[in-house]
């Protein structure tokens, strides 16, 4: 079973690229972030023609998440139960016997801002919900754009970005708290090339110079960990004309 996460940074702009990628990489599940469209604009019929069922949770201009699957998903949940939020950030569903949580974590803007405080509260709300979700669904993946790096290895300029957004101790505390709950970073289950990133700034030839961050992650539960065969970042779509600033991350589970 292959699953992928991809922040497409506007599905209306990137739809042809997503369809082309799915044709070349026929994964069983794709979760997308920043679809940036209202529910009535979502191209469900187009994805159905491509062989995918779709669940989506949109929002005008900002945010928005979706889940595509080869087989019909069930038990769909939108956003974090018990956490009051007017942003479309999370879509969860069961595909076969795997619980897939696709999430667009808040950016946080900068430490000390209201948006950063919202990010801290959101991360705690996510963890509180997962404390009940994980026992109910032993085979669980938490995948998406986390907007957080694990450590210096995930950052092209660790010294220059120290204590900046995506790299603060506060953010990494919450990320490691997810690990402490029993989740595992699937990417680091395998030897990876140095400077393996999933996001690059559009400015200053960020991708060409590989000045990036690894902020798109797939965490797996203890029951899935021994079944993971590979986890790779596919940088090919980042070379497209008018690409998303993120690349897909793909996991293969036995």
Q: Which residues contact 107 (CB under 8 A, 6 or more apart)?
A: 115, 119, 147, 165
Distance from CA of residue 48 to its chain's centroid? 22
Distance from CA of residue 107 to its chain's centroid? 12
> Which tokens sit at 72?
């019909």
Distance CA(133)–CA(137), nearest Å, equals 6
> Which tokens sit at 246?
């993120």
Catalytic residues: 104, 145
User: Cβ distance 94 to 129 under 8 Å?
Assistant: no
| Of 119, 41, 37, 127, residue with least CA distance to 80 | 127
> Which tokens sit at 63?
């945010």
Q: Which residue has the tokens 């708290």?
A: 177
Q: Which helix (H) or strand (E) covers residue 98, if one does?
A: strand 98-104
| Of 246, 156, 224, residue with least CA distance to 3 | 224
> For residue 249, what are the β-bridge partners?
5, 233
User: Cβ distance 216 to 7 under 8 Å?
Assistant: yes
């Amino acid at each position: 079973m292959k699953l992928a996460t991809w922040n497409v940074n506007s599905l209306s702009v990137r739809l042809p690229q997503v369809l082309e990628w799915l044709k070349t990489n026929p994964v069983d599940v794709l979760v997308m972030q920043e679809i940036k469209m209202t529910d009535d604009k979502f191209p469900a019929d187009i994805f159905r023609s491509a062989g995918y069922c779709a669940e989506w949770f949109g929002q005008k201009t900002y945010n928005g998440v979706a889940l595509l699957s080869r087989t019909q998903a069930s038990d769909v949940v939108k956003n974090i139960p018990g956490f009051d939020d007017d942003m479309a950030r999370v879509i969860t569903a069961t595909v076969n016997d795997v619980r897939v949580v696709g999430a667009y974590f808040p950016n946080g803007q900068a430490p000390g801002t209201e948006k950063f405080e919202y990010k801290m509260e959101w991360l705690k709300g996510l963890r509180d919900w997962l404390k009940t979700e994980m026992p109910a669904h032993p085979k669980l993946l938490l995948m998406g754009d986390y907007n957080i790096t694990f450590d210096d290895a995930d950052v092209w300029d660790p010294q220059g970005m120290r204590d900046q957004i995506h790299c603060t101790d506060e953010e990494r505390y919450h990320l490691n708290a997810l690990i402490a709950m029993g989740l595992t970073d699937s990417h680091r289950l395998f030897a990876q090339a140095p400077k393996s990133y999933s996001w690059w700034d559009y400015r200053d030839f960020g991708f060409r110079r590989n000045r990036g961050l690894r902020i798109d992650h797939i965490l797996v539960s203890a029951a899935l960990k021994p079944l993971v065969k590979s986890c790779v970042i596919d940088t090919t779509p980042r070379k497209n004309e008018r690409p998303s600033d993120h690349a897909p991350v793909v996991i293969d589970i036995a």
